[in-house]
Amino acid sequence: MPIRDPQESEREQLQVFRALPGELAPRDAQDLMIYPWFSLAKSKRVTPLEFRAGEIALRVEGTAEHGIATIWDADVLIWAASQIVEARDAGLATSRLMVATPHEILRFIHRGTSLRDYQRLKAALDRLQSTTVATTIRQVSTRRQHRFSWINEWKELADGQGRPRGMELILPDWFYTGVLDETLVLTIDRTYFDLTGGIERWLYRLARKHAGRQPGGWRFDFRHLYAKSGSLARFSDFALDLRRIARRQSLPGYWLNIERHADGTESLALCAGRDPHWLAGAVSQLAQTLAGDKL
């Protein structure tokens, strides 16, 4: 009896979900917004990402060939989450087996649609597929870990004459079940895709998860932010990036404020919207920052 390819058997058991057309609201998985799952650098990273806090533990590894998936590669997962949530809310059947055209994905994540952009999308899919994750998040016991890749597999599709028909990818169960839980997904600003810096993108997702729409916002010590980011930069360089982002006020929907403390430490305050009382304090702090920083 011939041995069945386990990947083929998985595909055979899954119903195909064809990507929905039209402008969909971008949705992000909350679990991916608060921990260091992705490289924040555009250059290849092979150093593993690790984070531990109480019962939370995760380790992310990449291959020497592809490196760890980046925060820009994660745009594909945001596209997938958006598709699944839209279909679920419309009462349509969803599946981990998704079929779409590169054009559909690239347009959604605000990329070009040239041959070069298509090649970059394929490179992103390779990194997502080759990156491995081990985590205790959403496990019944902290001694048990769930291991997976961001994409189980992907392939290009063609018709009988070899003409391209799009691409197919299979999502891991850990990601898929999290997206189906409406309490674990948040809508994000569409202009998130236009943010160019890795720390900037990571910081927006953190703000969206923690600060949300709270009038009082949220505050993080710089050292705590550094640990949660997984950045390989020196702490001094990371802190400099935070100050620059606060000066630019580039996060869509959020005000950033650097707070300096008597012990010499710094905190970053994030607030949603345009609360006038919070804004007055932010302007005062920003003036002090501009006077004290030599940037």
Residue 238 lies in a domain: yes
In the chain, alpha helices (H)? 6-13, 75-89, 102-108, 115-130, 173-180, 198-210, 222-229, 235-248, 276-292
**Whether residue 168 is found in the same domain as residue 113:** yes
Residue 185 lies in a domain: yes
Last residue of some domain: 166, 190, 214?
A: 190
Which whole number is the average pLDDT over 71-80? 98
CA-to-CA dists, residue 80 to 99, 168, 265, angstroms:
10, 12, 39
**Whether residue 147 is found in the same domain as residue 14:** yes
**Whether residue 156 is found in the same domain as residue 209:** no
Return the closest-CA partner of residue 63 out of 137, 136, 20, 123: 123
Dist. CA 202–CA 70, nearest whole Å: 11
Residues 6 or more apart in contact with residue 111 via CB below 8 angstroms: 75, 117, 120, 121, 193
Give yes or no for residue 48 having a pLDDT over 50: yes
Which whole number is the average pLDDT over 270-295? 54
Give yes or no for residue 106 having a pLDDT over 50: yes
Q: What is the CATH number of the domain that holds 284?
A: 1.10.10
Question: Percentage of residues in the chain with pLDDT exceeding 70?
Answer: 85
Give yes or no for residue 282 having a pLDDT over 60: no
**Whether residue 38 is found in the same domain as residue 183:** yes
**Alpha-carbon 275 to chain mean position:** 27
Tokens (6 digits) for 150? 């961001």
Confidence class of residue 267 from pLDDT cuts 50, 70 and 90? very high
**Whether residue 158 is found in the same domain as residue 248:** no
Instruction: Please say whether the beta carbons of 128 and 120 come within 8 A.
Output: no
Handedness of CA 7, 106, 59, 33 (dihedral sign): negative
Dist. CA 6–CA 16, nearest whole Å: 17
- pTM given for the model: 0.87
Beta bridge partners of 97: 16, 170
Which whole number is the average pLDDT over 95-124? 96
Confidence class of residue 8 from pLDDT cuts 50, 70 and 90? low
**Whether residue 185 is found in the same domain as residue 211:** no
**Whether residue 63 is found in the same domain as residue 158:** yes
Instruction: Please say whether the beta carbons of 176 and 236 come within 8 A.
Output: no
Question: Percentage of residues in the chain with pLDDT exceeding 90?
Answer: 75
Last residue of some domain: 165, 190, 215?
A: 190
Strand ranges across the sheet with 132-135: 49-53, 56-61, 132-135, 146-149
**Whether residue 121 is found in the same domain as residue 13:** yes
Last residue of some domain: 190, 209, 228?
A: 190
Dist. CA 106–CA 94, nearest whole Å: 21
Quote the DSSP letter at residue 72.
Answer: T
Domain count within the chain: 2
**Whether residue 88 is found in the same domain as residue 30:** yes
Q: What pLDDT, in 10s, does the model give residues 145-187?
A: 899 999 999 999 987 767 778 999 999 999 999 999 999 999 9
Residue 1 lies in a domain: no
First to last CA, the chain: 70
Give yes or no for residue 285 having a pLDDT over 70: no
Residues of the domain holding 249: 195-292
pLDDT value at residue 278: 45
What are the backbone angles phi and psi of residue 234, rounded to the nearest 5°?
Answer: -65, 150
Residue 28 lies in a domain: yes
pLDDT value at residue 185: 96
Which whole number is the average pLDDT over 127-148? 87
3-state secondary structure of 243: helix
Residue 68 lies in a domain: yes
Residue 57 lies in a domain: yes
**Whether residue 214 is found in the same domain as residue 288:** yes
Give yes or no for residue 277 having a pLDDT over 90: no
**Whether residue 82 is found in the same domain as residue 125:** yes
**Whether residue 159 is found in the same domain as residue 207:** no
Tokens (6 digits) for 122? 């394929």
Return the closest-CA partner of residue 35 out of 51, 19, 24: 51
3-state secondary structure of 187: strand
